[in-house]
Amino acid sequence: MKKTLLLAGVACVMMTAQAQAGDWYNNMMHNTKIYVGADYAFDSVDFKGALNEAKEDYNSGIFNVGARMGYMGVELFGQWAFGDSKDTPDGKLKTNINAYGMDLYGYLPLGCEGKYDIIGTLGVADYYYKGFLEEKNDTNNHIGWRVGGGAMYNFNEHVSARLIGRYAYIGASDLNHVAEVTAGMRYNF
């Protein structure tokens, strides 16, 4: 009798767990939103070594595509900075920095209406940077990790705006880190 009750209890627990897992999966799939977005970014770049004299502040554009699944999400992005030049004692130094990569997102909704979200990000990117000094060229790329936080305002179920501050550690011989602030819009399908 005890074995029968034990087996019946285990069967009930297994069926309940399976039903809850199915509900979680269905809820996640119905709440998944695919989006595209565009951002403006102000980047403060810490060049060193051969590029020590390079400009430190850059403006860039970011295009991204992602998926939000409830309280978490993933985003792929490409970032292109507008290159600049600076006069140095050795001549005119032209520099540029670009990146592409992936970020994981965590969302914390605020309020009952779901208009505001607090955002946390963690990601990885390949930073590609160039420096041209007269006939000398220094082109390199290096993988770096990124961490950030910000806020998002949802105008309606399709359109949202977000603001994020982010720090990226690259640790390359010519590029130590990048600090940036981004502001942009998203369209959810």
State the 10-residue block means of pLDDT for the chain, 189 residues long: 64 60 56 94 89 86 96 96 80 87 96 90 94 72 95 95 97 90 97
pLDDT for 20 equals 55
Alpha-carbon span 47 to 55, nearest angstrom: 8
For the chain, the first-to-last Cα distance in angstroms comes to 56
Six token digits for residue 123: 């990601």
CB atoms within 10 A of CB 93: 23
122-166 per-position pLDDT tens digit: 999 999 988 877 666 667 888 999 999 999 999 999 999 999 999
pLDDT for 9 equals 65
pLDDT for 152 equals 97
Which runs of consecutive H residues, i.e. helices, occur in the chain? 2-30
Per the DSSP assignment, residues forming a β-bridge with 40 are: 61, 183
- CB under 8 Å to 47, separation ≥6 — which residues? 54, 56, 95, 129, 131, 174, 175, 176
pLDDT for 164 equals 98
Which runs of consecutive H residues, i.e. helices, occur in 57-118? none
pLDDT for 3 equals 65
pLDDT for 24 equals 52
pLDDT for 93 equals 82
- CB under 8 Å to 94, separation ≥6 — which residues? 83, 84, 85, 130, 131, 132, 133
